[in-house]
Amino acid sequence: MSDVSIPPAIAGDAYDALLTDLRAIIASGRGRAAAAVNAEIVATYWRIGERLVREEQGGAERAAYGAGLLPRVGRVLAQEFGRTMSERNLQQMRQFYLAYSNANALRSGLTWTHYRRLMQFSDPEQRAFYERLTATGRWSSRELDRQINSMLYERTGLSRRPEGLVSSLPQPHRLLTPEDEAFRDPYVLDFLGLEDTFSERDLEAALVRNIEKFLLELGADFCFVGRQRRLSIGGEDYYVDLVFFNRRLRALVMVDLKLGKLTHADISQMKLYLNWARRYDKQEGENDPIGLILCGAKDEQVIELLLADPADSVDERIKVAQYLLLDGQEALRERLAQLGAAYEQAHEGGLDTGTADHDQ
């Protein structure tokens, strides 16, 4: 029997601490191992694709030979290595190399599942858009699918008009700034489950109940700070519906919810909020706060005229976006086309675009 006795309480604490440390080491090791395996799989498939393409590009004779090569090679390799080396998968590896001919451009955080989804885009810019956001946001393949199905690329283009306007569904045609990627228009809130009639308070409560989904819709860099933040100004109390912090922009984002059409009073109120927050709520190292007015409908001419003062630094920090409660990609595509056409019409003919009620 040992002469040294360890008090049970201390032994228990030490045991729990040991288990905690070992679990962390195992989880970390598994994570690194999985990342290493994924990186090696991607690199291997890229090399296979490169070899197949080189075989096809060896002249007319070699090209004719290569046309029937994949079925034959696929049958042999599938028998030796399993279905991952079937003709269909070899064809995907070939396509992978053609889409990413520079191996140095491959991102270590993306898996083969990510790349298989990204390769479906024929537009290199659209593919690069989702690739970059997947890497920076550390999206899972499921989250990548969700963002693609919600037509994030088209919505980002629509929010950057008029530069982004191309036909009815605008596309981005310049490098995105961090602010471009932080805000979009419209926002798709098809997860709220609201009744046909609802109030601004109902909308706010539904967003808070579904805060995880709302954060995914906002973007990876948004952190929820709180709701109904009270601002005491001139002896009166004002309340900001929702407050977030964007880590990449290093700025507070104050969100005001509006059911109906945006008015000039909504813009003035947001200016008041932002000027107060810049003076009394901004922390050292942060940038000036940003305002997002999320509304059911808006008039582009009203927004342009109210936020067009180049001497007013607050104007450029106010974002206005519509929310859509649409469910399904076809309904979303149709609504985006309507929004894009309405904006073009407003800027070409000076027509009012804010007559439609908000979608429910």
- How far is Cα 127 from Cα 121, in angstroms, rounded to an integer? 6
pLDDT interval class at 346 (50, 70, 90): low
Domain boundaries, the chain: 9-100, 184-349
Residue 39: per-residue pLDDT: 83
Q: Which of 7-16, 76-85, 156-165, 177-186 has the lowest mean pLDDT?
A: 156-165
pLDDT interval class at 312 (50, 70, 90): low
pLDDT interval class at 332 (50, 70, 90): low
Residue 142: per-residue pLDDT: 84
Residue 248: per-residue pLDDT: 87
Mean pLDDT of 85-102: 88
Residue 352: per-residue pLDDT: 42
Mean pLDDT of 313-319: 81
Residue 250: per-residue pLDDT: 92
pLDDT interval class at 358 (50, 70, 90): very low
Assessment of whether the complete model's pTM goes beyond 0.75 = no
Residue 171 has pLDDT above 70, yes or no: no
Residue 251: per-residue pLDDT: 92
Mean pLDDT of 207-230: 86
Residue 340: per-residue pLDDT: 64
Mean pLDDT of 204-231: 86
Residue 81 has pLDDT above 80, yes or no: yes
Q: In three state form, how does the secondary structure of the chain look? A: CCCCCCCHHHHHHHHHHHHHHHHHHHHHHHHHHHHHHHHHHHHHHHHHHHHHHHHHCCCHHHHHHHHCHHHHHHHHHHHHHCHHHCHHHHHHHHHHHHHCCCHHHCCCCCCHHHHHHHCCCCCHHHHHHHHHHHHHHCCCHHHHHHHHHCCHHHHHHHCCCCCCCCCCCCCCCCCCCHHHHHCCCCEECCCCCCCCCCCHHHHHHHHHHCHHHHHHHHCCCEEEEEEEEEEEECCEEEEEEEEEEECCCCEEEEEEEEEEECCHHHHHHHHHHHHHHHHHCCCCCCCCCEEEEEEEECCHHHHHHHCCCCCCCCHHHEEEEEEECCCCHHHHHHHHHHHHHHHHHHHHHCCCCCCCCCCC
Residue 53 has pLDDT above 70, yes or no: yes
Mean pLDDT of 238-249: 90
Q: What CATH topology corresponds to 184-349?
A: Trna Endonuclease; Chain: A, domain 1 (3.40.1350)
Residue 59: per-residue pLDDT: 43
Question: How far are the Cα atoms of 64, 184, 189, 222 from residue 211, in angstroms, in the given order?
Answer: 56, 18, 11, 11
